[in-house]
Amino acid sequence: MLKAVVLIGGPQKGTRFRPLSFEVPKPLFPVAGVPMIQHHIEACAQVPGMQEILLIGFYQPDEPLTRFLEAAQQEFNLPIRYLQEFAPLGTGGGLYHFRDQILAGGPEAFFVLNADVCSDFPLSAMLAAHRRQPHPFLLLGTTANRSQSLNYGCIVENPETHEVLHYVEKPSTFVSDIINCGIYLFSPEALKPLRDVFQRNQQDQQLDGSSGSWPGAGTIRLEQDVFTALSGQGQIYVHLTDGIWSQIKSAGSALYASRLYLNRYQLTHPERLAQLTPGGPCIRGNVFIHPTAKVASSAVLGPNVSIGEGVTIGEGVRLRESIVLHGATLQTELGDGSGQKWP
Binding stretches for ligand GTP (CB under 6 A): 7-9, 13, 56-58, 85, 88-91, 94, 114-116, 182, 249
Tell me the C-alpha distance between 178 and 240, whole Å.
Answer: 8
> How near is the Cβ of 316 to ligand GTP at its closest, in Å?
39
> How near is the Cβ of 182 to ligand GTP at its closest, in Å?
6
> How near is the Cβ of 47 to ligand GTP at its closest, in Å?
20
Tell me the C-alpha distance between 109 and 106, whole Å.
Answer: 9
CA 143 to chain centre: 18
Tell me the C-alpha distance between 187 and 143, whole Å.
Answer: 25
Tell me the C-alpha distance between 298 and 315, whole Å.
Answer: 5
98 or 288: CB nearest ligand GTP: 98
b or e along 59-76 (b: 16 or more beta carbons within 10 Å of the residue's beta carbon)?
Answer: beeeeebeebbeebeeeb
58 or 265: CB nearest ligand GTP: 58
Which amino acid belongs to residue 57?
Answer: G
8 or 109: CB nearest ligand GTP: 8
7 or 257: CB nearest ligand GTP: 7
In the chain, where does DSSP find H-type helix?
Answer: 20-23, 36-45, 63-76, 90-97, 99-103, 123-132, 146-149, 191-208, 229-230, 251-268
CA end-to-end distance (rounded Å), the chain: 53
- The sheet with strand 318-319 has its strands ordered as 282-283, 300-301, 318-319
Which residues, 6+ apart, have CB-to-CB distance to 216 below 8 Å? 87, 201, 205
Can you tell me whether residue 124 is helix, strand or coil? helix
116 or 315: CB nearest ligand GTP: 116
Nearest residue relative to ligand GTP (C-beta):
9
- Would you say 72 and 41 are in contact if contact means Cβ atoms under 8 Å apart? yes
> How near is the Cβ of 179 to ligand GTP at its closest, in Å?
11
150 or 328: CB nearest ligand GTP: 150
* Per-residue CA distances from 101 to 9, 304, 332 (Å): 18, 40, 53
Maximal CA-CA distance, the chain? 77
8 or 191: CB nearest ligand GTP: 8
> How near is the Cβ of 118 to ligand GTP at its closest, in Å?
12
123 or 274: CB nearest ligand GTP: 123
> How near is the Cβ of 89 to ligand GTP at its closest, in Å?
5
> How near is the Cβ of 234 to ligand GTP at its closest, in Å?
25
For residue 33, which phi and psi values (nearest 5 degrees)? Answer: 90, -10
> How near is the Cβ of 246 to ligand GTP at its closest, in Å?
12
19 or 291: CB nearest ligand GTP: 19
> How near is the Cβ of 181 to ligand GTP at its closest, in Å?
11
